A and B are shown apart, each in its own frame.
Chain A
Amino acid sequence: DAGVIQSPRHEVTEMGQEVTLRCKPISGHNSLFWYRQTMMRGLELLIYFNNNVPIDDSGMPEDRFSAKMPNASFSTLKIQPSEPRDSAVYFCASSSTSGRINEQFFGPGTRLTVL
Chain B
Amino acid sequence: SQKIEQNSEALNIQEGKTATLTCNYTNYSPAYLQWYRQDPGRGPVFLLLIRENEKEKRKERLKVTFDTTLKQSLFHITASQPADSATYLCAFDSSYKLIFGSGTRLLVRP
Give the number of residue pairs across the A-B interface with Cβ within 8 Å: 53
Interface residues on B, range: 20 to 34
Task: Find chain A residues with CB under 8 A from B44 CB.
Answer: 43, 91, 104, 106
Asked if A101 and B32 make an inter-chain contact with CB atoms under 8 angstroms apart, the answer reads yes
B46: shortest Cβ distance to chain A, in Å?
Answer: 4
The stretch that binds B, out of A11-19, A69-77, A92-100, is: A92-100
From A42, A44, A103, A107, B49 is in contact (CB under 8 Å) with A103
Closest partner residue, chain B, to A45 (CB atom): B97
Closest partner residue, chain A, to B103 (CB atom): A42
CA distance A106 to B32 in the complex (A): 19
Asked if A99 and B89 make an inter-chain contact with CB atoms under 8 angstroms apart, the answer reads no
| Interface status of A65 (Cβ within 8 A of chain B) | no
B95: shortest Cβ distance to chain A, in Å?
Answer: 8
Closest partner residue, chain B, to A92 (CB atom): B43
Which residues of B are at the interface with A, using a C-beta cutoff of 8 A? 31-32, 34, 41-46, 49, 89, 93, 95-103
Q: Could you pull out 16 A-B pairs where Cβ atoms are within 8 angstroms?
A: A33-B97, A42-B101, A42-B102, A43-B44, A43-B102, A48-B96, A48-B97, A98-B96, A99-B96, A100-B93, A100-B96, A101-B49, A104-B98, A106-B45, A109-B41, A109-B42
Given contact pairs A42-B103, A44-B100, a sample of 11 additional A-B residue pairs in the complex whose CB atoms are under 8 Å apart: A4-B43, A43-B44, A48-B97, A56-B96, A91-B43, A100-B96, A101-B32, A103-B34, A106-B44, A108-B41, A109-B42
